[in-house]
Amino acid sequence: MPAAKHLRFPVENAREVSALLLRPPKANWLLVLAHGAGAGMNHPFLESLSQELAAAQIATFRYQFPYMEQARRAPDRPPVLVATVAAAIHAAQKAAPGLPLLAGGKSMGARMTSTAASQHPLDQVCGLVLFGFPLHPPKQPATKRADHLTKVTLPMLFLQGTRDTLADLTLLGPIVANLAPRTTLHVIDTADHSFHVLKSSGKTDSEILRELAQTTAAWAASTLKT
């Protein structure tokens, strides 16, 4: 597997952020992948997920939001986050021309990507891949964060764990069902918000990462048009 290529691209107000392009030799897709609120693009979860996606013939373009690039704790305001998503998709197109695009992210990155898609078309993106969509704050069940999903016209893949305290599946399941046929929900038994699983699941965290990647590849191949 080739090493990830370090890149930089501009966002609003002429600021630049970092990105990592990992492209396997026979890639079928390029996933523009946003990080969660508390950890940047170099977090071990995203690093390992990108490796598994590469093994499944999906290239990744991981990137930083401005606050993470500047080592600030508090996330940027939603307009800045959404603008960064759009800028990252544009930069990914330039970095790997010719590959059909997916966009998504982990937790906050998933939510900001779907928010961006609800506000304006995302250039040439074929579908959204949402790892651990944060439907509500921890242990505070609510659905308001999903209101914008009705405005997303792209196919969406939700990958969620049954122990995720940021997404009560009794709430998320009906939301996804109501948005059918453009939505798919893949549930991972005993996985928490970080996709750690219990020993009782009979699987390891590494096997779960592989499942996430292979599910994404199978969904893209069977559902999306390029």
pLDDT tens-digit series, residues 140-154: 999 999 999 999 999
Q: DSSP secondary-structure letter at 136? A: S
- Domains in the chain, number: 1
Counting beta carbons within 10 angstroms of the beta carbon of residue 180, is it exposed (0 to 12), middle (13 to 18) or buried (19 or more)?
A: exposed
Residue 208: phi and psi, rounded to 5, are -65, -40
Q: What is the pLDDT of residue 226?
A: 67
The pLDDT value recorded for residue 224 is: 87
Closest C-alpha among 137, 47, 177, 44 to residue 187: 177
pLDDT of 17 above 80: yes
Domain that holds residue 171: 5-223
What CATH number has the domain bearing residue 178?
3.40.50.1820
Digit-coded pLDDT (tens) for 63-116: 999 999 999 999 999 999 999 999 999 999 999 999 999 999 999 999 999 999
Q: At what angle do helices 44-55 and 205-223 cross, to 10 degrees?
A: 50
Q: With beta carbons less than 8 A apart as the criterion, state whether 15 and 37 touch.
A: no
202: pLDDT confidence band, cut at 50, 70 and 90?
Answer: very high
φ/ψ of 18, rounded to 5, equals: -90, 160
Confidence of residue 14 (pLDDT cuts 50, 70, 90): low
Whether pLDDT at 225 is above 90:
no
pLDDT band per the 50, 70, 90 thresholds, residue 21:
very high
- Dihedral class, residue 202 (left if φ above 0, else alpha if ψ from -120 to 50, else beta): left
Select from 223, 211, 158 the least CA-distant residue to 185: 158
